[in-house]
Structure 1
Amino acid sequence: METRSNHVLVGSVVLILLAVLAICTVWLARIGNATEKEYDIFFKQSVDGLAKGSAVSYSGVPAGQVKSIQLWKNDPQFVRVRVSVTNDTPILRGTTATIQGSFTGPSTVSLDGAVKGAPPITCDENNLAQSCPYGVPVIPTKAGGIGAILNSAPQLLERLSTLTERLTGLLTDRNQASIAGILDNTNRLTDALADRGPEIAATLAQTRVAIQQAGDAAQQVGALAATTNDTLAQDVRPAMQNLNKAITSAQASADTLNAAIGDARPGLQTFSKTTIPEANRLVHDLRVTATALSSVAEKVDQGGAGSLLGSSKLPDYKGK
């Protein structure tokens, strides 16, 4: 009977101690939660290497840990990561989150980018669906570090595979033979150029001399042009000035002649309309007079002066 009572006493003490331990644990958990803040991060990339309890750092300084990882029900392309950070961590506007992968250990969540004097990231009461879809503020993300490289690794491998296939198709036996022929021709051309090295050097020397002579000729042409300009300035330009004066005088004479013709134009019109018709009638009368005089002269020649006074006598008739 006494032994059973001891067991009951021991059990009661153990239960009391367990209850006290549970109360202390809950109290400590509440104290810890009071000194930490929780945020959601939506990663549109693989979170391989990230696990519950992974470290969260701010600019390399430990600031908290990952609380949970799960796919976002609204869009399976995103992974929702719940993190808790210390209360004194400056989660301000401009802060972004990235996944820092590692080949030797687990991945971590890195926070940085806060702007001095910016307000903290909080829930917007006017837009709770985007700012706090699960009751805590959302930290925006950005791709960077090894995570970005690992995310783009499949595309890089695919492009590398495509490039390898194209190189394989390019380096066929026929193309390799063609490339070998091109290399052989290049070698022969190089050898030929090496053999003709002295001739090429002589040609280059001659070319240099020709260029120098061309430069001298150009200099002489420049001097000739300067001399020509001086000649034009001294001889041709005065002659051109005299010619311009002569042309100006001729223009003035032509203007005077045009004015005189304009003044004589009324008299010319009167002459053509009155004098010329009278002269035509006079010429016609002179022609008629000349015709009559010709007829008289012909009669005088044929019949003498008497033919002008009377009719011509009939010839004497003689009988047989």
Structure 2
Amino acid sequence: MMENKSHAFLAGVFTIGLAILVLFSIFWFSSDHAVLVPYDLITRSTVNGLGPQADVKYRGLDVGKVDSIRFDPAVPGQIIVRVSVDQNAPITTTTYATLSFQGVTGIGYVQLDDTTAQNGGQPSPHLPTSAKAVARIAMRAGFFEELEKRGDSLLTQLETIMDSLGNMFQADNRRDLMEAIRSVHTTANDYSRLAHAIEPAVRQLPQVTENLNATLASTRRLTQELASPDGTVLRTVDSVGRNLQGAADSVQSAAAGISQDTLPQVNGLARDARQTVRSIDRAANQFNDSPRSVLFGGPAATPGPGEPGFSPP
């Protein structure tokens, strides 16, 4: 009986020890072992939805938790949000914080970002901090806070827009708008009729294009013929030129023959004709002076000097 009790006791102790070891292991592996350093976020804005143990993220990555939220005793109205951040997080002198919200749950968290990282410049120096000298980071207004601040301005602009719309849809403006709509409708109908009118011409466009392509091809071939020294056109022109040159040579030869052979004969005939005309003219004058000379011959010629019967005057 004593052995059974001792075995049962040892089994109980072993079971309890195993359970404690399992719980410790679960706690150890589930807990974050990163070294956290404190930072104070300074803001004068509201921090609705933000509470202790809220997440702290650097550009979307979890880097810490919110430890506490309290008023700054030195500056009235200023709020200090103490956060614990992983010491390996790239917190620099240009890092700033904003209040963001997770989805539609409204649970707030702190979003850290860096001005230099946004502008793509050289990284700023690391911001040192410790439990005795906690570094401070400025907390800027988030999207919803900016929207809340600009709500009055947006409402005013919305009222102005609504007034403008009301004025635009007054009776006179509505009438003008309806006239414009009717004009647009009429123009659309005119365009539709025009489209129907030019539809036959559009159907003929492929044939016209084909004819134009054929004409261009013929023109291209003609250009190639004109540009080719051995082309038909240039050969024909060369043959015609040679024929014209031969004809010109023939005309020149004929002109030379006329000038050398025919013209002298024509000139001789012209001289003979002139002599004949002078003879006929003398005969006519003689007939006019002495018609008897036709029957009895002309009077004897008067002897000249040295001839018999010459008598000086």
User: Fold match, TM over 0.5?
Assistant: no
